[in-house]
Structure 1
């Protein structure tokens, strides 16, 4: 070390190198961690820095006193401004040749110190991409005052896996689960993410503005700069965006937002932990804002229309601009509601339309816009209160105990554990209503004849497109995919069979978000042996009905036609009653060879 560093007591350096905030700045996630989560060699100034916080501190102090390079961005202070800010609380750095304020790259990223606040952004789940099934988290750097919706040029920080173009889906899933990808932080304009999530993928966003002090906010921004483009190893379940962003906030708050006893970390868990966290005598979150997707805005407007107004919207959507004069009639306020709905509708159509359809949709949108300009500005305020806010929702993991019974067999007790995430009876939020996303769902039964595995779901995904308006273009296809094993019959003592299936279909919600009827045609494999007899095709019908905010029903009928002309029919009725936010009661009746029924009490954790 240079002679100018001899003033620093080695014992003080040793003590500081053991402090948890220093270790977290280096990417050590816990006191027990022996290796930093950051794998990029460029993140460390010592060759042993990834494993030795003391050597990294010595190397950092030494590098801070090095002479200024031709490009100031290459100086250690400019590369690691958060380390400088933290160490400057403990050491006198008056003789250091560079300060963070002189670093061009860092000052540009930090908006010249004009970051007024920092927000956690939650994007709801998206079943079109496995990496986004559970939702996604971003960090936003705000500088334009309180009106967050008008500040789209702010900076957004994203953490994600680095995936090659055109990666095979099965390879993508396998490598994502087993750590086959590098990952890292990137930054770009917030507008890009609001457009991609809210307009293209039709996902609602929730913004949680944090009440960080000036010093903590500055330290967090500086640490983000240090982490940009530094590689991590990505694991889909527990070293994902949720985990890394939680670790990011832990650097400045000292609070732990993950549960070390769980092998998975989900975005909603982090949102709930952050929202419920204390910070300097108050809550960490100071305000919450809901940013609805294009689809949510359309559906909200459509729900506010009366029967005659909906009819006018349908006529205009089917017949186009030539029909505007005869369909846009009545009181001026009613005309405004119809035209505003059509404006949202045509913008929504552009998201799902084929390229050759876009010019016609844009022409119709312009015609409606010109007709709207003929009326007075303003109109009825649209109620866009978010439903099922992620911070208020139930936890994502589920445990239940129950009893099932049927003719010719003794009753059996059941235990079910579902690590994540939801099924068609408890799915929360507009974007995934009546859908299913479950992984590692296991049910075991116990009775006079011993215990047995009733059902194992490795993965089950069911996407129900409600198509609420019934307008042209609002008719997405539903689909389901499942892989696992289950008992072939309740009357069988032990006939566990491997099962995998996929199906595609169509759903209709009859203009209401409370009931949806779906029809599917699919096929798969279901057998206790590996012979061709297990292959089947299956038509099925499914009705989902939300009777109230606490009671959901699902009725299912399917008929499996097997390879050698055997067939098996299944009819099932499920009911769920929400007792509290974290508990429920479930009942079912099923007829598959024989009829049986069951009930269970569940707890979300």
Structure 2
């Protein structure tokens, strides 16, 4: 064999080094070639303009310009510096990151694991992506999905709970139904829940921060039985379940996107970027083209979003009702005569032994009522845990020795989506301060005491950005009222529970009479309510200690604080009619100011969307322009939207 001349060996070696280096890195060379092809294929398919890509990026049109921008308030949600507003740049950057090599020591940090929904969708639209990069292992995501075993989804709507600031509107969340799930194992399924990470414990502070986006929204996952205990037992909220016809593949894509947004900051806004809107956007990602969130461009009130989901043809396949602990207690209480009720409460209080009730069928119902009342108080934190367990043991031991009887089922109330829409517009004509007048009213959300209660919580008033204006003869249009927040909880007291009623409002209103301009005010206070049922129709009475701080140039110190009683009744003489009567008197630290007021309001419903209304109001305020009494009368029409 001939050998190469010695001078040629170094030359050949130096020439082979680049070729050997290139051969040693075939994967990186292939990826470098594949990425431009991937990006070109994505541009050719116009994926950046696909609504499904916009949904994955949480894009929505800006209110004024209409330009797309993401709801995500976290740079980590994007791969391009301008990804929050540039869908094409984000697509190119995402493809570039998805084909990056994985770090063996941190597999869950790979972009395929950080953005699994985007990766899954892009693979379905770009077959070249699967050729350019293998599927990377994602241990944490895989373990989470294996625990949930997704096969379908159910929209869950816990009704409004006015005594909890975070629950005044109601709430929506998703239950991820597992493979092989039955009625017996349904409570073991997992939920996807989005809520404000709130630190306020009072309605006023929570409303203020929530209205202006001062809370971050957080997405969480927990077993369904934990949420049922929270809503049904601790807060006594009825729960509605709307089974959706999502396929297992669509449900898995929903979970992938939930994983993506779980680590992302979103500013939480009461009216739009709230729990319900985020749930709708998860559904949009699960089924591209659904776009149910687009039905709510301005506000996303939970009960309205439930209506929007139900209205999508074929999306809801089954509806179930889960009564709250308080609802079941009220049902069982309605079956007991007053004397039997008093004895059952005595057993629940520990003042009487369970055996003292006897063995008659009525005693069995008394024992079951006492059992649930003790549990109800325990869940609400009104009874020491050890005392509750001891009383439950004694009651259940006695009950186990008696036969089973049929105590009836809790009546199913009208479904939430059957109620009126949350927005309301009104037009009326009448007289104000002695002159003919026209009146306009606008309430974007949500419900007041005069509205029909179908689908809403009885005795709860929650109004946001309530606006009223009027035009008197000889005068132009003037603002009468602007209340960003007006909340009233009229919670009837019963033999077995004595809840506190309360109210709070702030904004601008004509506190000193119709002839004077609206003034800034903050008002509210505690109260109590009672309810009676008779052949003349349901009647609810209430009293409040009405406290008010107001400011006005006609006051001696330009501000005043006052207090006094307010009493009222709500009466439903017919199914479509409600009458509200109120009277109040207040004394202020400004000695010149005393105010008395009385009003009567009548509402008659013309179907679900329209009302006829009549109003009479009498006011006497010592600081009114001429010191005389003022009257306001109006007859008008209201339309829900």
Between Structure 1 and Structure 2, whose CA radius of gyration is higher?
2
> Post-superposition shift, 1:276?
0.4
Report whether the alignment pairs 1:122 with 2:157: yes
Aligned to 1:393: 419
Q: Which residue of 2 aligns with 1:534?
A: 560
Q: Cα offset for 1:374?
A: 0.8
1:167 to partner: Cα distance: 8.2
Q: Answer with 47-56 or 183-192: which moved more.
A: 47-56
Counterpart in 1 of 2:508? Answer: 485
Contact 1:427 1:434 (8 Å CA) reproduced:
no
Number of aligned positions between the proteins: 589
- Of residues 372, 384, 387 in structure 2, which corresponds to 1:360? 387
Greater Cα offset, 390-399 or 230-239:
230-239
Specify which of 313, 317, 332 is matched with residue 286 of structure 1. 317
CA distance in 2, matches of 1:9, 1:36: 22
Q: Cα 1:559–1:175, aligned 2, differ >3 Å: closer, same or farther?
A: closer
CA shift, 1:418, in A, is 0.8
More off after superposition, 214-223 vs 105-114 = 105-114
Query: Which of 517, 522, 525 is equivalent to 1:503?
Result: 525
1:304, distance to aligned residue in structure 2 (A)? 3.2
TM-superposed CA distance for 1:479, in Å, is 0.9
| Aligned counterparts of 1:368 and 1:181: Cα–Cα separation in 2 | 45
Contact persistence 2:510–2:516 (CA under 8 A): yes
CA–CA separation in structure 2 for the residues paired with 1:161 and 1:130: 11
Spell out the pairing of 1:413-452 with structure 2 (5 A cutoff): 413-426=438-451, 428=453, 432-450=457-475, 451-452=477-478
SS at match of 2:317: strand
Contact 1:320 1:364 in 2 (8 A): no
Question: What secondary structure does 1:179 align onto?
Answer: coil
Following superposition of structure 1 onto structure 2, how do residues 488-567 of structure 1 map, counting pairs within 5 Å?
488=511, 492-510=514-532, 514-526=538-550, 528-529=552-553, 531-532=556-557, 534-563=560-589, 564=591, 566-567=593-594
Task: Report matched runs for 1:292-331 at 5 Å.
Answer: 292-306=323-337, 309-317=340-348, 320-322=351-353, 324-330=354-360
**Equivalent-residue separation in structure 2 for 1:347 and 1:363 (angstroms):** 11
In 2 relative to 1, CA 39–526 (structure 1 residues): closer, same or farther, beyond 3 Å? closer
Partner of 1:13: 43
Return the offset for 1:354.
4.1
Within 2, Cα distance between the matches of 1:543 and 1:449?
A: 36
1:412-450 per-residue CA deviation (whole Å, 9 max, x = no partner) reads: 121111111111112636983122111111111223222
Q: Does 1:194 align with 2:231?
A: no
Which deviates more from structure 2 when the two are superposed, residues 41-50 or residues 392-401? 41-50
Q: Deviations over 1:33-64 (max 9, x none)?
A: 44322233332333443333223323333333
Q: Distance in 2 between matches of 1:200 and 1:329?
A: 31
Deviation sequence 1:426-482 (CA, Å, 0-9, x none) = 263698312211111111122322232232223111111112x312xx001111112
Contact in 2 for aligned 1:321/1:368 (Cα 8 Å): no
Q: Distance in 2 between matches of 1:261 and 1:383?
A: 34
Match of 2:379 in 1: 351
Contact 1:29 1:37 in 2 (8 A): yes
Equivalent residue, structure 1, for 2:265? 231
- Corresponding position of 2:369: 341
CA distance in 1 between counterparts of 2:99 and 2:593 reads: 80
SS of residue paired to 2:599:
strand
Task: Summarize deviations over 1:200-237 as a string: whole Å, max 9, x none.
Answer: 22222212111123332222222112221211122222
1:213 corresponds to which residue?
Answer: 247
Would the alpha carbon gap of residues 548 and 259 (structure 1) be closer, same or farther in structure 2, given more than 3 Å must change? farther
- Which structure 2 segments of 5+ residues have no match? 1-30, 620-628
Cα 1:112/1:470, change in 2 over 3 Å: closer
Shift of 1:187: 1.6
TM-score normalised to the size of structure 1? 0.89
Is the Cα contact below 8 Å between 2:165 and 2:202 reproduced in 1?
no
- Cα distance in 2 for partners of 1:166, 1:591 equals 37
- For the pair 1:575 / 2:602, whether they are aligned, the reply is yes
**Counterpart of 2:70 in 1: which secondary structure?**
coil
Q: CA RMSD in A?
A: 2.9
Q: Structure 1 residue 582: deviation in Å?
A: 1.0
What is the CA distance between 1:17 and its match in structure 2? 1.9
Relative distance call for 1:431 and 1:94 in structure 2 (3 A) is: closer
For 2:364 and 2:134, locate their aligned partners in 1 and report how far apart those are by CA, in whole Å: 60
Match of 2:437 in 1: 412
Aligned to 2:311: 276
Deviations, residues 508-556 of structure 1 (Å, cap 9, x unaligned): 2247893222122232134632544732211121212233432222221
Q: Closer, same or farther in 2 for the Cα pair 1:541/1:347, shift >3 Å?
A: same
Equivalence map 1:62-77=2 (5 Å)? 62-70=96-104, 71-77=106-112
Give CA deviations for 1:295-338 in whole Å, capped at 9, x if unaligned: 1111122223355643543453456342x3333453x3x33322
Determine the C-alpha separation between the residues in 1 that align with 2:94 and 2:482. Answer: 51
Query: 1:284 Cα shift?
Result: 0.8
> Is the 2:148–2:190 Cα contact (8 Å) retained in structure 1?
no
Matched, 1:585 2:619: no
CA shift in 2, pair 1:594/1:167, >3 Å = closer
Matches within 5 A, 1:11-160: 11-14=41-44, 15-30=46-61, 32-70=66-104, 71-92=106-127, 93-95=129-131, 98-99=134-135, 102-111=137-146, 114-143=149-178, 145=180, 147=182, 150-160=185-195
- The corresponding residue for 1:457 is 483
Equivalent pair of 1:186/1:229 in contact (CA under 8 Å)? no
**Residues 61 and 69 in structure 2, CA contact (< 8 A), matched pair in contact too:** no
**Tell me, which stretches of 5 or more residues in structure 1 are unaligned?**
none
Give me the TM-score of the superposition, normalised by structure 2: 0.84
Query: 8 Å contact 2:348–2:371 — kept in the other structure?
Result: no
